[in-house]
Amino acid sequence: MKKHNFSAGPCILPQDVLKKASEAVLNFNGLDLSLIEISHRSKEFVEVMENARNLVKELLNVPNGYSVLFLQGGASLEFLMTAYNLLKVDGKAAYLDTGAWAAKALKEAKLLGEIDVVASSKDKTYNYIPKNYAIPADVDYFHCTSNNTIYGTQIKEFPKTDSLLVCDMSSDIFSKQIDVSKFDLIYAGAQKNMGPAGTTLVIVKDSILGKTGRKIPSMLDYQVHINKDSMFNTPPVFPVYVSMLTLQWLKDLGGVAAIEKINEEKAALLYAEIDRNPLFKGFAEVEDRSLMNVTFNLTNEEDKEAFDKIWNAAGISGIKGHRSVGGYRASIYNAMPIESIQVLVNAMQQLEK
Amino acid sequence: MKKHNFSAGPCILPQDVLKKASEAVLNFNGLDLSLIEISHRSKEFVEVMENARNLVKELLNVPNGYSVLFLQGGASLEFLMTAYNLLKVDGKAAYLDTGAWAAKALKEAKLLGEIDVVASSKDKTYNYIPKNYAIPADVDYFHCTSNNTIYGTQIKEFPKTDSLLVCDMSSDIFSKQIDVSKFDLIYAGAQKNMGPAGTTLVIVKDSILGKTGRKIPSMLDYQVHINKDSMFNTPPVFPVYVSMLTLQWLKDLGGVAAIEKINEEKAALLYAEIDRNPLFKGFAEVEDRSLMNVTFNLTNEEDKEAFDKIWNAAGISGIKGHRSVGGYRASIYNAMPIESIQVLVNAMQQLEK
């Protein structure tokens, strides 16, 4: 029996994608060779990279003038690359502090310039998204994190700003429609809605690059990777391939508009139970609730043993909350079927009885 | 029929490893979950990381006082990390230029300090390893590339030096015995003898770190990764797992001493044919010939069409030489069976007839 996998990431991927990925490890495209033992410069793998890139463009309706890259190092390396590529010598950048990952992003940028933290929700363990903050006019860029996995908060409306808009979308990209033209740089570790750990998606507006006055090391320079179609060095072949499969799965399902509707239904089902059931309470402020990571606590901690027994018996895995928040976190990414969420809701109702 | 895969990298991996990797993508360790959808902090994956680390220590007899890391970004990111972690502010480093990869390594280091190129074999398209060069006493470290995939040359004896010894062993690590205690930093992209593309092995002497006076970005700081057991951020789960399987395969086969003997036999078989057959000539100087990448050219370029037809018909793939050298390159890494080399030798003899 397949588990109900609520892991925060790496996380559930479509079963059909796992099956195809498993086959390609043995025999890729009928070549009688494994996907992971062929040259990344072979016709067959170059095609994988192109397909993956084109699927991103199609699914997110990426306008002309933007490049799509598949890199390594996760969002953590992007924290540094953002600053290297966009923060001018003696420049300044603005950051919104909505959690541990946002804080890590600005920590790396501080090595290269002055950082203005325009607002923070640290005062309430990041259980809300700050609003009505001012972004200084003289910054090189503004950086925010669209979805905060640990706390279960999500930005519903991005700020209007004249400066460059940079967003870490690691945990909600491809889950809902976005207007890419409003952003200058988007990045996302693959391991939520796109694929396995080991590759990072970058969508960057070409015209913003090359303006910092810095010498950028090759591996940290977006322009270098753009010039080489993400093949400046050997790319992470398997993670890119599985990302391509997952994006194709999403396209076949009807694309981002279709999954957005499903994601809204899934989240509504779980939040409704949290709000109805007196034994549970939500962690995040209602208006900032994430559609990807649903965080909640027991009203009475004494129920913990009983509840843990119930969901374990139901075949649920990965709902333990992050240590900084406690309680529970149900990550309900694109590949999570609503049936699994119903199993969790049933477990919550069983505790009530 | 399985191809005879002479690819330079990503390259052939043991068939048994591919089979196990394929299974784990569907159901890992009997968990009813895929390897690529579980948390990297799960007991099961932490165990994979520990096993991989311990296998490296055991196979290479890594002394106490060294750390073993699995990172991302390939050797290309190590070119930068080497300098960030070891090159002092206002410091100097010495590099041996034995090919395109060595040249890329020193290019990145130049961003952070003064680089002294102690010797280069560029004058003869890198077909030999320079010898009898002097390493200045005042450098922070000396950097070399143990095996040069493109040209088919390999360092047989490493220089004695009082400065730190850094080596890019991407294409020959685990192919022969090395005395790790003579090195201060070893790094290697996985995609030759260790596993699929997407992870980088680093073996670093702990006591050399923290002495540059530089602020190092977190993702580029070896000490950060050491402190977090290669889990500072989400590691490339699949590449690390397959590396673990490949290292276990090598251990079961008898370890590095056993594979070294096999590799010597394999290379001897092919080089003997190159030297015997008047239609072929070796590219690299005889004393510097690589046991991993065998480069050779036709004596008469007019035989190209006939020879290409013969080896294609024999089920051989991946032996086209690098564009900067031309001719042929047979990469005969650990997982390549001697039977496949015999097929290539037969093809060369068939051309002669």
Q: Are B200 and B77 in contact (CB under 8 A)?
A: yes
Using H for helix, E for strand and C for coil, what is the string for A221-260?
A: CHHHHHHCCCCCCCCCHHHHHHHHHHHHHHHHHCHHHHHH
Q: What is the pLDDT of residues B32-90, one digit of tens each?
A: 899 999 999 999 999 999 999 999 999 999 999 999 999 999 999 999 999 999 999 99
The answer for residues whose C-beta is within 8 angstroms of residue B340's C-beta and 6 or more apart is B4, B5, B6, B316
Check which CATH number belongs to the domain holding B340 and give it.
3.90.1150.10
Q: How far is B23 from chain A (nearest CA, A)?
A: 7
Q: Are B154 and B146 in contact (CB under 8 A)?
A: yes
- pLDDT in the model for residue A1: 64
Which residue of chain B is at minimal alpha-carbon distance from A242? B36
Question: Is residue B228 less than 8 Å (CB to CB) from chain A?
Answer: no
d(CA B58, CA B39) in angstroms, rounded, equals 27
Ordered DSSP codes for B100-118:
HHHHHHHHHHTTTSEEEEE
Longest CA pairwise span in chain B (Å): 65
d(CA A27, CA A247) in angstroms, rounded, equals 21
The answer for residues whose C-beta is within 8 angstroms of residue A252's C-beta and 6 or more apart is none
The total of other beta-carbon atoms located within 10 Å of residue A130's CB is: 18
Is the domain of B310 the same as that of B345?
yes
d(CA B297, CA B279) in angstroms, rounded, equals 9
Q: How far is B231 from chain A (nearest CA, A)?
A: 12
Is the domain of B291 the same as that of B143?
no
Q: How many domains does chain A divide into?
A: 2
Closest CA to B77 of B198, B178, B172: B198
CA distances from B342 to A293, B4, B14, B338, B348 (A): 56, 10, 18, 6, 10
The answer for residues whose C-beta is within 8 angstroms of residue B26's C-beta and 6 or more apart is A18, A19, A22, B34
Is the domain of B239 the same as that of B269?
no
Q: What is the pLDDT of residues B83-124, one digit of tens each?
A: 999 999 999 999 999 999 999 999 999 999 999 999 999 999
Is the domain of B38 the same as that of B121?
yes
d(CA B109, CA A89) in angstroms, rounded, equals 20
Ordered DSSP codes for B286-309:
GGGB-SSEEEEEESSGGGHHHHHH
Residue B334 — very low, low, confident or very high, per pLDDT cuts 50/70/90?
very high
- pLDDT in the model for residue A29: 94
Place of tokens 């910092």: A212
Residue A10 covered by a domain: no
Which candidate from B25, B108, B233 shows the least CB-CB separation from A76? B233
Residue B68 covered by a domain: yes
d(CA B338, CA B340) in angstroms, rounded, equals 5
Residue A1 covered by a domain: no
Q: Are A233 and B74 in contact (CB under 8 A)?
A: yes
Per the CB < 8 Å rule, is B36 touching A242?
yes
Place of tokens 């060095």: A233
Task: Select the residue from A36, A76, A219 to test the B interface by mutation, using most B Cβ atoms within 10 A.
Answer: A36
Which candidate from B1, B26, B217 shows the least CB-CB separation from A22? B26
Q: How far is B160 from chain A (nearest CA, A)?
A: 30
Is the domain of A119 the same as that of A170?
yes
d(CA A100, CA A241) in angstroms, rounded, equals 30
Is the domain of B271 the same as that of B227?
no
Per the CB < 8 Å rule, is A76 touching B237?
no
- Structure letter (DSSP) for residue A173: T
Is the domain of A205 the same as that of A79?
yes
Q: How far is A276 from chain B (nearest CA, A)?
A: 30
Per the CB < 8 Å rule, is A217 touching B10?
no
User: Chain A window 142-201: which residues touch B at a Cβ cutoff of 8 Å?
Assistant: 189, 191, 196-199
Check which CATH number belongs to the domain holding A232 and give it.
3.40.640.10
- For chain B, how many residues are written? 353
Percent of chain B with pLDDT over 90: 98
Residue A313 covered by a domain: yes
The answer for residues whose C-beta is within 8 angstroms of residue A182's C-beta and 6 or more apart is A158, A165
Tell me how many helices (H) and strands (E) chain B has: 9, 14
Closest CA to B237 of A195, A256, A312: A195
Residue B2 covered by a domain: no
Of the residues A198, A229, A253, the one at which a domain ends = A253
Is the domain of B119 the same as that of B37?
yes
- pLDDT in the model for residue B1: 63
Is the domain of B93 the same as that of B19?
yes
Closest CA to B256 of B300, B299, B297, B291: B291
The complex's ipTM works out to 0.97
Which residue of chain A is at minimal alpha-carbon distance from B110? A217
> Which residues of A are catalytically annotated?
101, 168, 192
> Which residues of B are catalytically annotated?
101, 168, 192
Strand B200-205 to B185-189 pairing:
antiparallel
CA distances from B81 to B86, B170, B231 (A): 8, 15, 17
d(CA B161, CA A291) in angstroms, rounded, equals 58
Residue A127 covered by a domain: yes
- H or E stretch at A293: strand A293-298
Residue B3 — very low, low, confident or very high, per pLDDT cuts 50/70/90?
confident
- pLDDT in the model for residue A2: 77
Of the residues B222, B252, B282, the one at which a domain ends = B252
Is the domain of A337 the same as that of A210?
no
| Pair of tokens at residue B206 | 């702990």
Q: Give B-chain residues touching A215 at CB under 8 angstroms.
A: 111
Q: Give this prediction's pTM.
A: 0.97
Is the domain of B39 the same as that of B116?
yes
Give me the mean pLDDT over the B326-339 stretch. 97
Closest CA to B78 of B108, B42, B111: B108
Q: Give A-chain residues touching B38 at CB under 8 angstroms.
A: 5, 7, 10, 318
The total of other beta-carbon atoms located within 10 Å of residue B123's CB is: 9
Q: In a structure prediction context, what are the per-residue pLDDT tens digits for chain A, which is 353 residues long?
A: 678 999 998 999 999 999 999 999 999 999 989 999 999 999 999 999 999 999 999 999 999 999 999 999 999 999 999 999 999 999 999 999 999 999 999 999 999 999 999 999 999 999 999 999 999 999 999 999 999 999 999 999 999 999 999 999 999 999 999 999 999 999 999 999 999 999 999 999 999 999 999 999 999 999 999 999 999 999 999 999 999 999 999 999 999 999 999 999 999 999 999 999 999 999 999 999 999 999 999 999 999 999 999 999 999 999 999 999 999 999 999 999 999 999 999 999 999 99
Residue B4 covered by a domain: no
Is the domain of A266 the same as that of A130?
no
Question: Between chain A and chain B, how many beta carbons pairs sit less than 8 Å apart?
Answer: 186
CA distances from A249 to A242, A258, B51, B156, B238 (A): 10, 12, 34, 50, 21
Domain enclosing residue A303, as ranges? 255-352
Residue B299 covered by a domain: yes
Give me the mean pLDDT over the B230-249 stretch. 98
Of the residues A238, A253, A268, the one at which a domain ends = A253
